[in-house]
Amino acid sequence: MTSGGFDLLIVLPAFLAGLLVLATHIPLGAQVLKRGIVFIDLAIAQIAALGVIIAGSGSLDPHGWAVQLAAGVAAVLGALLLTWTEKRWPEVQEAQIGVLFILAASASLLLVAHNPHGGEHLQDLLAGQILWVNYNQLLMPALGSAVIVAVLAVFGDRLPRLGFYLVFALAVTASVQLIGVYLVFASLIVPSLAVRHYAGRRRLAFAYLTGVGGYASGLVLSILLDLPSGALIVWCLALLAMVVYAVGPKPAAQPA
């Protein structure tokens, strides 16, 4: 087998991880844009990462059930808090989401300040280590993605506020440890931005094509150029999204 073929086999688990993430994040991203709470994904992802850091401070297996549970509990608590703030102060919900994000990010920095490997661990949670994902790590995210896709298919836009936040929290919890905070945000928002003027089923189809193309090209380029996979995927998603938006339908002109 050629070295190129061997490299492609290496990135296959990472590509499958990307497909699992896109399966839930594309429809969730469309709802995020529709609801006008764009930065909720950053906030919830950062809170889930904070849960991982808190659990990791107890010398637990980073891929074990305890850490997964800690990330999930942290994300759900964040979702419940945001549900309450949206009821209490809906006019400043986006600002509250931003404050929650910066508080979680700052808490993460404080918790790893005296850990000799804390900076490396924090970077892994932010930028991700998608290239080193293995097949065993995909089992639970695959089951979770199947449940979330089923819920979204049944309820769609009819999910109540609390239900949406909880589903969102569970989806982000499953993905943040696979791909990192940056890719979580890019996977949710970038494809949906690219297709926002597309109509009907074409919108969903082109969003998935944008996401799949971004992950595939980013992973291949990371092997060829020996550059960080997560960062390259973010850029490939953004560049492909620009092309999809440019060749797509234009918004209707606003009346004078």
Mean pLDDT, contiguous 10-residue spans, the chain (256 residues): 58 94 93 82 86 73 69 88 89 89 91 76 77 88 91 85 87 85 92 92 93 96 90 96 92 60
Which structural domain, as residue segments, surrounds residue 116?
Answer: 3-247
CATH number, domain of 56, equals 1.10.3470.10
What is the model's pLDDT at position 204? 92
In-domain check, residue 254 = no
Determine the Cα–Cα distance for residues 16 and 220; give it in Å rounded to an integer.
14
In-domain check, residue 252 = no
What is the model's pLDDT at position 60? 56
What is the model's pLDDT at position 41? 77
In-domain check, residue 78 = yes
What is the model's pLDDT at position 122? 75
In-domain check, residue 84 = yes
Total of domains in the chain: 1
What is the model's pLDDT at position 49? 86
What is the model's pLDDT at position 1? 42
pTM of the model: 0.85
In-domain check, residue 146 = yes
In-domain check, residue 15 = yes
In-domain check, residue 178 = yes
In-domain check, residue 231 = yes
